[in-house]
């Protein structure tokens, strides 16, 4: 039983391999590109594809993602081979914590207090918000729901935008084009947790950002390309947006000269909001390997037509 490993930084490679070997002692792991005879390969574990990666893999049973997002390889999936996302509660909690931190940073005036501290100023800023503040989550799937619940517990009024209508429990659900406009119009904090697909690529352009309430904050923890970066910068420069916290950028790494680095309203982390945990991840991957070998459907299947 041969697995090709190309996790590319989505979790420490050595840890992935040691955990997979511990769970499946009969698994032979080959590091891409040293795949040997591709006809031996039954499984590929990866985050992003490469030209010719799947060539000659005539015995491929399943493609397993080392991350939640599959935009790095979904376009290259061989016909007829099932693929699965990594849907890991550990990662969902990490993502929720990162987003909560970013939203609270803005909602509790931390940028202003940091500036005051730099000048040795002790001055209360009364936060005159006696109504729940409104958060809109673009993409309310596994991570969006976990994040939305965490924010609702902290007193925010949360709406989640999805492609199809969903019962999100205590969170309001909006969907489709009309739902997007309604969500943008109301969101003091806009959180992006959408997958990158042909439909979401460039979704947040100048027109859509302009719908947000004056001074709204933007938090992106999904993929940089979903927002048109020059339009984001213009919205920040004009003061239309009050600030942004970005865990993702286009391209990554964000080039050293990019104006976002030095923008006073922008905070940046280097794609670390929900780093893959190879220990919890390997258990999920092992279960899908077992399923594929038993001819059972995979958990958390990728729909190649939707792109996520
Ligand atoms: P998921 O469970 O598949 O949820 C995706 C959500 O987006 C679903 O609610 C889906 O709607 C919605 N959606 C997709 N296309 C849409 C469209 N065109 N219009 C409106 N809604 C749309 O994915 P997840 O596990 O929550 O992960 C989300 C993303 O987070 C990943 O794809 C990845 O890019 C990102 N991520 C980033 C990090 C990081 O470290 N920064 C870590 C992990 C994940 P339906 O419910 O109707 O299907
Ligand atoms: C990270 O970005 C992931 O998609 O898991």
In the beta sheet, which residues pair with residue 218? 190, 244
pLDDT tens profile 141-176: 999 999 999 999 999 999 999 999 999 999 999 999
**Residue 9: pLDDT band by 50, 70, 90 thresholds?**
confident
Q: Which residues contact 179 (CB under 8 A, 6 or more apart)?
A: 161, 173
Contact 204, 231 (CB under 8 A): yes
> What pLDDT is stored for residue 129 in this prediction?
79
> What pLDDT is stored for residue 229 in this prediction?
98
> What pLDDT is stored for residue 126 in this prediction?
77
Neighbours of 280 (CB within 10 A): 15
pLDDT tens profile 185-203: 999 999 999 999 999 999 9
Has 263 been annotated as catalytic? Answer: no
Q: What is the position in ligand 2's atom list of the atom closest to the CA of 248? A: 2
The rounded Å distance from CA 54 to ligand 1 centre is 25
Neighbours of 126 (CB within 10 A): 6
More confident residue, 128 or 79: 79
Q: Which of 30, 61, 223, 225 is flagged as catalytic?
A: 223
Choice from 143, 184, 272, 307 to test ligand 1 binding pocket (greatest atom count within 8 A of CB): 143
Choice from 8, 64, 67 to test ligand 2 binding pocket (greatest atom count within 8 A of CB): 67
220 lines ligand 1 (CB under 6 A): no
Neighbours of 113 (CB within 10 A): 15
pLDDT tens profile 213-254: 999 999 999 999 999 999 999 999 999 999 999 999 999 999
Indicate whether 80 pLDDT > 90: yes
pLDDT tens profile 92-111: 999 999 999 999 999 999 99
> Once rounded to an integer, what is the mean pLDDT over residues 271-277?
97
Choice from 89, 141, 147, 182 to test ligand 1 binding pocket (greatest atom count within 8 A of CB): 141
69 lines ligand 2 (CB under 6 A): yes
Mean predicted lDDT score pLDDT of the chain? 97
Percent of the chain with pLDDT over 70: 100
Q: Which domains are delineated in the chain? A: 2-88+276-294 (3.40.50.720), 89-268 (3.40.50.720)
Has 271 been annotated as catalytic? Answer: yes
Which of the ligands is closest to the CA of residue 94?
Answer: 1
- Give the global pTM: 0.97
249 lines ligand 1 (CB under 6 A): no
Q: Is 175 helix (H, G, I), strand (E, B) or coil?
A: strand
> Once rounded to an integer, what is the mean pLDDT over residues 269-279?
97
Query: Could you give the angle at which helices 278-294 and 13-23 cross, rounded to 10 degrees?
Result: 50
How far apart (Å, rounded) are the C-alpha atoms in residues 229 and 251? 10
pLDDT tens profile 39-57: 999 999 999 999 999 999 9
Indicate whether 127 pLDDT > 80: no
161 lines ligand 1 (CB under 6 A): yes
């Amino acid at each position: 039983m041969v697995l090709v490993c190309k996790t590319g930084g989505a979790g420490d490679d050595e840890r992935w391999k040691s955990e997979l070997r511990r769970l499946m002692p009969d698994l032979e792991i080959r590091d891409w590109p040293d795949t040997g005879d591709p006809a031996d390969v039954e499984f590929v574990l990866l985050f992003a594809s490469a030209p010719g990666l799947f060539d000659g893999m005539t015995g491929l049973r399943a493609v397993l993602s080392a991350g939640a997002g599959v935009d790095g390889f979904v376009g290259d999936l061989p016909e007829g081979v099932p693929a699965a996302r990594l849907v890991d509660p550990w990662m969902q909690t990490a993502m929720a914590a990162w987003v909560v931190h970013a939203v609270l940073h803005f909602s509790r005036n931390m940028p202003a207090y940091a500036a005051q501290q730099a000048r040795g100023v002790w001055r209360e800023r009364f936060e005159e918000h006696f109504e729940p503040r409104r958060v809109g989550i673009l993409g309310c799937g596994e991570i969006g729901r976990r994040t939305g619940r965490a924010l609702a517990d902290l007193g925010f009024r949360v709406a989640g935008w999805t492609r199809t209508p969903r019962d999100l429990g205590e969170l309001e659900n909006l969907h489709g084009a009309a739902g997007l406009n309604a969500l943008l119009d109301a969101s003091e904090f806009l959180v992006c947790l959408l997958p990158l697909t042909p439909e979401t690529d460039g979704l947040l352009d100048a027109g859509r950002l302009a719908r947000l309430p004056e001074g709204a904050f933007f938090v992106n923890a999904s993929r940089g390309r979903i927002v048109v970066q020059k339009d984001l910068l213009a919205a920040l420069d004009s003061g239309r947006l009050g600030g942004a916290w970005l865990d993702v950028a286009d391209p990554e790494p964000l080039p050293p000269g990019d104006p976002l680095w030095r923008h006073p309203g922008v905070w940046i982390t280097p794609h670390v909001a929900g780093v893959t945990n190879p220990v919890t991840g390997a258990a999920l991957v092992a279960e899908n390997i077992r399923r594929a070998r038993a001819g059972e459907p995979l958990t958390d299947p990728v729909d190649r037509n939707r792109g996520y």
